[in-house]
Amino acid sequence: MEYSGEVKARDLIPESGGASAGDDYLPGSGNSGYSVSHYALELDYRMASNRLTGTAVITATASQPLGRFSLDLTGLVASKVSVDGVRVAKVVQNTQKLTITPARPIEAGASFIVSVRYGGSPGPRRSRWGEVGWEELAEGVIVAGQPCGAPTWFPCNDHPGDKATMQLAMTTDSPYRVVANGTLVSRTVRSSRTRWVFETTEPMATYLATVQIGYYQSYALPPARIPQYAYIPEDLAADFGADFGGQSAMIEVFEKLFGEFPFSEYTVVVTDDDLEIPLEAHGLSVFGRNHVDGHQGEVRLIAHELAHSWFGNSLTAASWKHIWLHEGFACYAEWLWSEASGSTSAAHLAEHHWTRLNALPQDFAIGDPGPDLMFDDRLYKRGALTLHALRVTIRDEAFFELLRKWTFEHRHGSVTTEQFLAHVSESSDRPTGPLLAAWLFDTALPKLPPRRR
């Protein structure tokens, strides 16, 4: 298994700041000895040769004395490393980690700036969840970072709990459009090459950082309360308009239910290639050509990815075992949109999915599913059913008030299941502890509470 074998023994001594951030699900990823506040990436990508070169300047704060520390980087080679502008004493790179010994130890609480020049031919990495990270398309590039793909394109502290802002400058061949997280702040054409600069001002988990490159045409979606951008293959315009035309209304409905949209804009990319599943990124969602049919055949996926703006991007699981806080909520948002748009009610969908789940093996708890099952569809559906059971028990007004408070109080933060349980018990007069404990931590599927009238 890729994540357990590669960390060398010397990385595990305390002065390294911990080779791992202590996430049981990805024990080889992240570093708990420091936290990053900002990534500044200056990258150059040659499409024809799949060659990425660049510099990452990482601003971090030590949470303990650091005689040395590590960054996650895989498939690319670091060529020059400095800390606070000073050449480092030693750099050791293995297949997953760049271990840096600064010229002088870093004191606990001190801020420091690491600069890493690096490059190579980026590609996806294998994981127990399939291939993730940087990937060439037929004509372009996609980055699918979840859960451990970020180190395939930049050195980072790859843990969902360590969120940081980012500035990404990407220079590539001029005919291509670059789409990335945050706001496009400049675009400079120099003959055959164009430099695109994006800024993300809200803290972002590394797995949600993305860059998409392709022959994309901009499509103007109907106005919503926030600007919406779309970049799609030219020939998909009519079908895209039919499928995504309702996204403005979706944003309006979700703002009523979940609270204010957490970003100043929202972007959708449709790749020319088919994709197995759409991808959520920070302020941005990526769909494949196969998800656009002109008949709203995949409208639930549009709702699902949009809902990740609140649940996953803004409120990010502090570690992977809390993944139902992303997927259960995004799945329930599909049902809520269905109900709000006059299609099947959430109650009906809940009954339908309860019956389906009841016929499947019930052999894990969604509150701590284990790494192999964290993206299992049963977790998504049972997570949504958990929220529906809570809604029926405490009634609509209290339920949506509780959700809006949840997204407001933890906006752009990190969250755990325990925090959600505490939030529910503080927010509701009715006892819900045993109900939620059964849904989240028992393996057997609880019965849905009877519908209220």
Q: What length does the chain have?
A: 453
Rule CB under 5 A: is residue 306 a binding residue for Zn ion? no
Instruction: Tell whether the torsion through CA atoms of 377, 299, 424 and 403 is positive or negative.
Output: positive
Sole window of 163-171, 248-256, 316-324, 328-336 interacting with Zn ion (rule: CB under 5 A)? 328-336
Sole window of 84-92, 321-329, 393-401, 416-424 interacting with Zn ion (rule: CB under 5 A)? 321-329
Helix %, strand %, coil % for the chain, to 5? 30, 30, 35
**Do 123 and 75 meet the contact criterion of CB atoms below 8 Å apart?**
yes
Sole window of 53-61, 73-81, 267-275, 319-327 interacting with Zn ion (rule: CB under 5 A)? 319-327
Instruction: Tell whether the torsion through CA atoms of 425, 431, 436 and 441 is positive or negative.
Output: positive
Give 122 or 283: the residue with its C-beta nearer to Zn ion: 283
Residue of 424, 332, 438 whose CA lies nearest to 385: 332
Residues 24-63 that bind Zn ion (CB under 5 A): none
Secondary structure of 347-380 in HEC code, one letter for each residue: HHHHHHHHHHHHCCCCCCCCCCCCHHHCCCHHHH
Kindly state the number of chain residues that form the binding site for Zn ion, as judged by CB under 5 A: 2
Does residue 151 have a cis bond before it (omega within 30 degrees)? Answer: no
Q: How far is Cα 132 from Cα 428, in angstroms, rounded to an integer?
A: 40
Annotate each residue in 176-215 with x if it binds Zn ion (CB under 5 A) or - if it does not, as one string. ----------------------------------------
Both tokens of residue 226?
Answer: 């926030």
Give 243 or 327: the residue with its C-beta nearer to Zn ion: 327
Q: Closest distance between Zn ion and the C-beta of residue 307, in Å?
A: 8
How many Cβ atoms from other residues are within 10 Å of residue 411's Cβ?
14
Q: How far is Cα 116 from Cα 231, in angstroms, rounded to an integer?
A: 31
Q: Closest distance between Zn ion and the C-beta of residue 281, in Å?
A: 11
Give 261 or 311: the residue with its C-beta nearer to Zn ion: 311
Q: Closest distance between Zn ion and the C-beta of residue 308, in Å?
A: 6
Give 270 or 330: the residue with its C-beta nearer to Zn ion: 330
Sole window of 209-217, 231-239, 330-338, 401-409 interacting with Zn ion (rule: CB under 5 A)? 330-338
Q: How far is Cα 267 from Cα 53, in angstroms, rounded to an integer?
A: 26
Give 289 or 304: the residue with its C-beta nearer to Zn ion: 304
Give 158 or 327: the residue with its C-beta nearer to Zn ion: 327
CA 451 to chain centre: 34
Q: Closest distance between Zn ion and the C-beta of residue 366, in Å?
A: 14
Sole window of 160-168, 191-199, 329-337, 444-452 interacting with Zn ion (rule: CB under 5 A)? 329-337
Q: Closest distance between Zn ion and the C-beta of residue 280, in Å?
A: 6
Give 272 or 280: the residue with its C-beta nearer to Zn ion: 280
How many Cβ atoms from other residues are within 10 Å of residue 194's Cβ?
18
Give 41 or 257: the residue with its C-beta nearer to Zn ion: 257
Tokens 């006892």 label which residue?
A: 431
Counting Cβ atoms within 10 Å, is residue 9 exposed (0-12), middle (13-18) or buried (19+)?
exposed
Rule CB under 5 A: is residue 330 a binding residue for Zn ion? yes
Give 346 or 394: the residue with its C-beta nearer to Zn ion: 346
Sole window of 10-18, 234-242, 320-328, 352-360 interacting with Zn ion (rule: CB under 5 A)? 320-328
Q: Closest distance between Zn ion and the C-beta of residue 27, in Å?
A: 23
Q: What is the DSSP letter of 290?
A: G
Q: Closest distance between Zn ion and the C-beta of residue 304, in Å?
A: 6
Give 272 or 327: the residue with its C-beta nearer to Zn ion: 327
Residue whose CB is nearest to Zn ion in the complex, by number: 330
Sole window of 50-58, 239-247, 322-330, 351-359 interacting with Zn ion (rule: CB under 5 A)? 322-330
The residues, ordered by sequence, that sit 6+ positions from 431 with a Cβ below 8 Å of its Cβ are: none
Give 178 or 374: the residue with its C-beta nearer to Zn ion: 374
In 242-288, at which residue ranges do the beta strands (DSSP E only) sit?
A: 266-271, 279-281, 284-288
Give 162 or 327: the residue with its C-beta nearer to Zn ion: 327
Strand partners, 212: 179
Q: Closest distance between Zn ion and the C-beta of residue 385, in Å?
A: 16
Q: Closest distance between Zn ion and the C-beta of residue 305, in Å?
A: 7
b or e along 394-408 (b: 16 or more beta carbons within 10 Å of the residue's beta carbon)? beeebbbebbbebbe
Q: Closest distance between Zn ion and the C-beta of residue 330, in Å?
A: 4
Q: Closest distance between Zn ion and the C-beta of residue 226, in Å?
A: 21
Q: Closest distance between Zn ion and the C-beta of residue 208, in Å?
A: 12
Both tokens of residue 380?
Answer: 């998504």
**Binding residues vs Zn ion (CB under 5 A):** 327, 330
